[in-house]
Amino acid sequence: MIPCMDWNQRCAVIIPCFNEALHLGRVVEKARQHLATVIVVDDGSTDATVETARRSGAMVLSLPKNSGKGIALRHGWQQARQLGCNWALMLDGDGQHDAQEIPNFFKQAEQSGAALIVGNRMQNPEAMPVIRRWVNRWMSRRISHLTGAELPDSQCGFRLARLDTLLALSLHGNRFEIESAMLTSFLAAGEKVEFVPVRCIYEREASKINPLTDTFRWLRWRLTQRAALRACSTIRVP
């Protein structure tokens, strides 16, 4: 258990974005109701993402080209640390995460003392497209088997992490596999990971995840992690 802290001063919101002008303004405005510092990392967008973020009151970091969610998040973490923050609250800019649930992450962190709190959409996943639901459950089972821990929603990007731990870890994954890499790395370092229920929000826009290339990239990442974690006593690798 950690003592109650001034989250508004010690935590920054990190929103990695690629062409999210449609929903981003609303996401930033809701996030700013809970935390003063909102950092939008523009991952080479070609729409009005940057202008929307600034107009909504976010600090903007712009990458010159699309480099992947993992790269964008790393830039955001570094910026938050330079601003003196101890924690990073991550959520997506496409409106799939309800920023009104941010205080639930703080409460869970204070009660559990965990260094990583992850949103769990799978308690009520009916709003999630069937294919996404199946893939998420399959990946979560594979990561759970790899780590020996029960991880109900390994792919949710809505999460809270302690920055000193996050920046000290060697995370392998530059794109969507960063979510899985974060989980295995925290657990391999002996850090506590907890989950908190969150809403599952999906609208009509197409997902940024490519079902072929991103699944292949994830499988390649898992093979690499499987080999790398064999030497770690805190991870059970069958």
- What percentage of the chain's residues is helix, strand, coil (to nearest 5)? 45, 15, 40
Task: Give the whole-angstrom CA distance, residue 221 versus residue 215.
Answer: 10
C-alpha 42: how far from chain center:
15
Task: Give the whole-angstrom CA distance, residue 175 versus residue 201.
Answer: 22
Q: Among 205, 218, 211, 195, which residue's Cα sits nearest to residue 96?
A: 205
| Cα angle 39, 78, 31; round to 5 | 25
Task: Give the whole-angstrom CA distance, residue 137 versus residue 170.
Answer: 25
Q: Can you read off the two tokens belonging to residue 142?
A: 């594979």
Residue-range domains of the chain with CATH = 8-231 (3.90.550.10)
Helix (H, G, I), strand (E, B) or coil at 19: coil
Task: Give the whole-angstrom CA distance, residue 180 versus residue 222.
Answer: 9
What is the pTM (predicted TM-score) of this model? 0.83
DSSP secondary structure letters along 40-84: EEEES-SSSHHHHHHHTT-EEEEESS---HHHHHHHHHHHHHHTT
Count the Cβ atoms, other than its own, within 10 Å of residue 173.
Answer: 23
| Phi, psi for residue 137 in degrees, rounded to 5 | -65, -40
User: For every one of its 238 residues, what pLDDT tens digit does the chain have, with 9 covering 90 and above?
Assistant: 566 678 999 999 999 999 999 999 999 999 999 999 999 999 999 999 999 999 999 999 999 999 989 999 999 999 999 999 999 999 999 998 999 999 999 999 999 999 999 999 888 767 677 777 777 787 778 777 777 888 899 889 999 999 999 999 877 766 667 888 888 889 889 999 999 999 888 665 545 554 555 555 545 545 555 544 443 434 332 2
